Structure 1
Amino acid sequence: MEKNNMYKQAIDTLHTARDLLRFAVSRFNQAGLSYGHGTSNAHDEAAYLVLAGLHLPLDQLDPYLDARLLPEEIRDVIDLIERRVEERIPTAYLTHEAWQGDFNFYVDERVIVPRSFVYELLGEPLAPWIEYPELVHRALDLCTGSGCLAIQMAHHYPDAEIDAVDISLDALEVAAINVENYDLGDCINLIHTDLFEGLADHYDLIVSNPPYVDAESVETLPDEYRHEPALALGSGHDGLDATREILRRAPDFLNDRGVLLVEIGHNREVLEATFPHLPFVWLETSGGDGFVFLLTREDLVEHSA
């Protein structure tokens, strides 16, 4: 009854976007939500959810803060706020939209919410290894999920034909929506398989944001992350099962000057201890230099043991 009374009072007394923003921040802080699916704090999460719920531009909060809202608009946003709090659903699933850089993607609970650092490294940051974008004729995105990295690869390497692979048919259905939204069906091939299984091509660039959460961490994930597909999060006891397979098989699928780019979360120390012979190049991202490694085919062949 207390919750229902608060809910009714909120609908009756909140009138503007500013009111909703304040209410959402208070509710999120009170509930002790976890973040990491596009925002890192209660205010940013609340601002995004309020703007998205009101169908307003996501980069223009101030002009609308004091605009009075229709009762049904207030009710719709409060419904979103309460679902975020009570069900611990990531905001991206509530709005069916996630941003990665300047790109926005349709998402639902069939895929993890896009948050890979790999997209920051496509294009110019890879120039020391791939001098010109035109040199990428064939590219591969392993564990494509929503298709976000494949789509951003198509932007940076417009001459490339891209294979986007996932073991989950559900994920590929979401990826197909995004590929169609960006009108990239002619250059992105969605393939249902387990990593390299059944592939026959050789690639100039292979990227992957594979599952990499270790078993202990999977057990302690906040409720928000439990809405994501378990298949896309955990990868064995140490989180490296998928990465081991990628390192083992990548040389057979890279061209002579091919490049491999893989995100491994917080597993740098474990990975380097497991493969002490490999000369990993750790690339700087907005999260630091311990999350994404680069290896060339030459590195993989020369230092394989």
Structure 2
Amino acid sequence: MYETAREYLTTVRDLHRFAVSRFNAAELFYGHGTSEAWDEAAYLILATLKLPIDRLEPVFDARLLPEEVELVLNVLQERVVTRKPASYLTKEAYLGDFKFYVDERVIVPRSFIAEILFNDGLDPWIEHPELIHNALDLCTGSGCLAILMAHAFPDAAIDAVDLSPDALDVAEINVLDYSLGDRIDLLDSDLFEAVQDMKYDLIISNPPYVDAHSVEELPPEYLHEPVMALGSGEDGLDITRQILAQASAHLNPHGVLVVEIGHNRDVLEEQFPTLPFVWLPTESGDGFVFLLTREMLVEAGL
């Protein structure tokens, strides 16, 4: 089929229609930046052709050179055959207007915390950006949230830690791309291990939080991501519990902790009934990211 396509498809419209049909027939799974075949096909075609990824219509009827058609068809075929997330094929991922380099060494960036940072969602807990002088990003992965924090809090020095040296290599690429090497310090660390003597005004984390049952049921696309970046014990909360147990010792007075936990709100609240979790609103609901202050943690005995 792809050999025949090379002969007959000549325009972006042709390739887009072909891609949507192939993606639907293969029953691909989305969730790494797009949510349906139409958008995924548009992104892969435009990114492969080095065109603006948000402007499909102006180039819909553009005729392509044979080598351009070949290039696009190869990428589309790889997406179907390997079931790799599109970001691993293009080596890029977006959070809002921020673009990051990614490959199989890191999870594809996606975080409700990014949305919260974009929308000033930490107000009134952090009234003014200049109040944040130092911050910590636990489980930084590609470094995307550390970079977003550096833009949201321009006076902050940021430590970004991860247990994976491979992930830190990718994070370094992104930190250097944004010329933030003087503000973001990348550390090989198991959570707080390398920052034992440090205290912060803000700690954020998008840790692994998929429970064991859900890990077993993940679509093939997710299985290309690092295993250590997805699951966290039987209930998905092993790392979150470690963060809660240690965070107060690393927060300044009135310091703030922000952690993403996916769909685990009910389980977490049942395990920590004395913690007054503040659930931050996102477009998808208010049960995915919690906020606690140092004082809340201390009063709860943590």
TM-score, length basis structure 1: 0.97
Deviation at 1:303, TM superposition (A): 1.4
Residue 261 of structure 2: aligned partner: 264
Please give the alpha-carbon distance, in whole angstroms, between the structure 2 residues aligned to 1:55 and 1:150. 27
2:39 is the counterpart of 1:44: yes
Please give the alpha-carbon distance, in whole angstroms, between the structure 2 residues aligned to 1:32 and 1:196. 41
Deviation at 1:304, TM superposition (A): 2.3
2:20 is the counterpart of 1:25: yes
2:244 is the counterpart of 1:247: yes
Q: What letter corresponds to residue 248 of structure 1 in structure 2?
A: A
Please give the alpha-carbon distance, in whole angstroms, between the structure 2 residues aligned to 1:287 and 1:116. 11
Residue 77 of structure 1: aligned partner: 72
Deviation at 1:119, TM superposition (A): 1.1
Which one of the candidate residues 177, 185, 193 is aligned to 1:189?
185
Q: What letter corresponds to residue 180 of structure 1 in structure 2?
A: L
Which one of the candidate residues 150, 155, 158 is aligned to 1:159?
155
Root mean square deviation of aligned Cα: 0.8
Q: Percent identity, please.
A: 67
Dislocated runs of 4+, deviation >2 Å: none
Residue 179 of structure 1: aligned partner: 175
SS in 2 for 1:185: coil
Deviation at 1:59, TM superposition (A): 1.3
2:240 is the counterpart of 1:219: no
SS in 2 for 1:122: helix
Residue 106 of structure 2: aligned partner: 111
Please give the alpha-carbon distance, in whole angstroms, between the structure 1 residues aligned to 2:88 and 2:301. 42
TM-score, length basis structure 2: 0.98
The number of residue pairs the alignment matches comes to: 300
Please give the alpha-carbon distance, in whole angstroms, between the structure 2 residues aligned to 1:242 and 1:65. 46
Please give the alpha-carbon distance, in whole angstroms, between the structure 1 residues aligned to 2:31 and 2:116. 20
Q: What letter corresponds to residue 84 of structure 1 in structure 2?
A: R
2:7 is the counterpart of 1:12: yes
CA contact (8 A) 1:278 1:304 kept: no
2:278 is the counterpart of 1:281: yes
Deviation at 1:220, TM superposition (A): 0.8
Deviation by residue 1:91-129 (Cα, 9 ceiling, x = unmatched): 000000000011010000000000001012126221211
Please give the alpha-carbon distance, in whole angstroms, between the structure 2 residues aligned to 1:158 and 1:270. 36
SS in 2 for 1:125: coil
Structure 1 unpaired stretches of 5+: 1-5
